[in-house]
Amino acid sequence: MPDTTVAESLTPMTPHAVTAAFDHLRAVQAGALEVAAALAAAEPRTSAILVDVATRIVAPVTALPDPDMDAACADAFALDALGGVFLSALRTWEQAGPDAAEGIARTVIRFTADVLTEDHEDIDDILRQALDAHPTLAGAHPIRPGIV
């Protein structure tokens, strides 16, 4: 059976890491690619930090339900497997180093927009809700308005 505790076993992110990730995500989302490149150059671990953020967003959304809940259906197993494949691909991509940060950021933004947002919601709000809800980020205030 797939591991459903990935999100629970993550090491807490530092406020610096959260800020670096969201500054980069916002720059890419705004199309400020020079700013995004400068941010990635200033924080060489940007690709790894973005994959960490993606894990905190994707794992809870795609994980199998708790064993105490109703029996998981085939769709739940497929979604769990797809979440694992998605995160594995991001981890492989991360190995390219800082140059992969923009692509990883675009992928996190796309996942958030396509899977987590509804018509009336903003991606920044969804990312903030997803990460603020995670116990390892409580109070980190990941998004600073107006960074780009």
Helix (H, G, I), strand (E, B) or coil at 61: helix
In this predicted model, what pLDDT tens digit does every residue of 67-106 receive, in sequence order? 555 656 666 777 778 888 889 999 999 999 888 999 999 9
The single-letter code of the amino acid at 126 is I
Q: What residue spans define the domains of the chain?
A: 12-137
Do the Cβ atoms of 65 and 72 come closer than 8 Å? yes
Q: What is the mean pLDDT of residues 25-42?
A: 92
In this predicted model, what pLDDT tens digit does every residue of 34-77 receive, in sequence order? 999 999 999 999 999 999 988 888 887 777 666 555 656 666 77
Do the Cβ atoms of 7 and 60 come closer than 8 Å? yes
Do the Cβ atoms of 14 and 139 come closer than 8 Å? no
